Amino acid sequence: MLRRPTTPTVWARRPWVCTQCRARYSSVAPASNLRAGNNNTINKKTKLPDSPARTRFAPSPTGYLHLGSLRTALFNYLLAKRTGGQFLLRIEDTDQKRTIPDAEQRLYDDLRWAGLHWDEGPVVGGPYGPYRQSERTAIYRSHAQELIENGHAYRCFCSADRLDAFARHRSQAGLPAGYDRKCGEVSAEESEERAAKGEAHVVRLKVEGYPMFNDLVYGKTGQNRSPNKLDLIERVYDDPILIKSDGHPTYHLANVVDDHLMKITHVIRGTVSCDGRDAKEDAQAHTLIRNGCPRPPCTSRSTTPSSGRLRSSATYLC
């Protein structure tokens, strides 16, 4: 169960803290350890927004709700409620082939059981709907077309066989994966004509360089990859796919478009804490795990109990 902290100093700066983590933190990292320079770092990373936050939980119904995902939903919910904002639920069901028929309804049941009632989303509606990505395809195509017209994206007509052969060639040469932007040289007129004739294609984002960005937890971050001599011999680009050959958007496009149109102010996600074998050092400051709590084990959908199993066994999160 969750409750407001009552202990002064350190806990006064934590709006909501799990009772188990609170007890563990008190025994592992006393307040005396958080003085001088450390306080400035902690305050900066745990300071609440000055304005109402709009957060979202956007699961994919390709499996049942994972315990780690439920934890992520919890922190998005708490940030929105603590700041007087809104918590949105969005269903990212663009991967129709892997969608499980009853996963969406199970998701609703699990969130309600956990007390995480969404302010906007499926069932309850809202001003920025629909909140199911499969019902927003026209919106994504419109934005993809705008990117093409502005020169920020292009149609790629390369066959799967060509892309596979190129990937094998790069791998055998010990080179990083990428795309040679062959179709980036196709003129706008030819691209429009081939697409109008129904030729299979995807839409790729034209990525120049490796941009950095500011993260509220990690600070300035990004790939920060430097060109090497191999790039001069055979230049490749990341250029992720935005629209698949079946006309459906990829995560890269749909997620960004929806966050923008739905006016999401904060995105809270977990971070990779293992490589599938041994737990690594975590940096999950945004979920308060750094506050002296023991490092969690690596979890995945195949190894962690679903929230449905927790409901049936009356098991609590904390």
Is the Cβ–Cβ distance between 205 and 152 less than 8 Å? yes
Are 23 and 318 in contact by the 8 Å Cβ rule? The answer is no
Reading the block at residue 42, the tokens are 């902690």
pTM reported for the whole predicted model: 0.70
Of the ranges 58-62, 162-166, 271-275, which one carries the lowest mean pLDDT score?
Answer: 271-275
pLDDT at 47: 78
pLDDT at position 173, please?
Answer: 84
Where does the pLDDT of residue 188 fall: very low under 50, low under 70, confident under 90, or very high at 90 and above? Answer: very high
**Tens digits of per-residue pLDDT, 240-270?**
999 999 999 998 899 999 999 999 999 887 6
137-181: per-residue pLDDT in tens?
A: 999 999 999 999 999 999 999 999 999 999 999 899 888 888 999
Give the model's pLDDT for residue 104: 96
Angstrom distances, CA of residue 117 to CA of 76, 112, 293: 12, 6, 28
Q: For residue 18, is pLDDT > 90?
A: no
**Mean of pLDDT over the chain:** 77
Amino acid at 246: D
- Residue 221: the pLDDT is 72
SS3 category, 213 = strand
- Sorting pLDDT into bands at 50, 70 and 90, what band is 117? very high
Residue type, 177: A
Of all residues in the chain, the percent with pLDDT exceeding 70 is 65
The continuous run of DSSP H or E covering 89 comes out as strand 86-89
Q: Is the pLDDT of residue 66 over 70?
A: yes
Residue spans in the chain of domains classed CATH 3.40.50.620: 2-129+262-313
282's CB contacts (< 8 A; 6+ apart) are: 271, 273, 289, 290, 295, 296
Q: Where is pLDDT greater, at 270 or 303?
A: 270
169: closest CA among 179, 184, 156? 179
Q: DSSP letters of 245-286?
A: TTSPBPHHHHHHHHHHHTT----------B-SSSB-----GG
Element (H, E) at 38: helix 37-46
Average pLDDT over residues 202-216: 82
Structure tokens at 92: 């990212």
The arithmetic mean of pLDDT across residues 215-224, rounded, is 70
Q: Under CATH, which number does the domain 137-259 receive?
A: 3.90.800.10
pLDDT higher than threshold 70 for residue 274:
no
Task: Give the pLDDT of residue 4.
Answer: 45
Report the CATH fold assignment for 2-129+262-313: Rossmann fold (3.40.50)
DSSP code of 132? B
> Is the separation of the CB atoms in 242 and 144 below 8 Å?
yes
- Residue 127: asked if its preceding bond is cis (omega within 30°), the reply is no
The Cα–Cα gap between 6 and 26 comes to: 12
Residue 290 has pLDDT above 50, yes or no: no
Q: What pLDDT digit, counting tens, does each position of 21-51 carry?
A: 445 444 444 444 434 445 554 555 667 888 9
Residues of the chain with CATH 3.90.800.10: 137-259
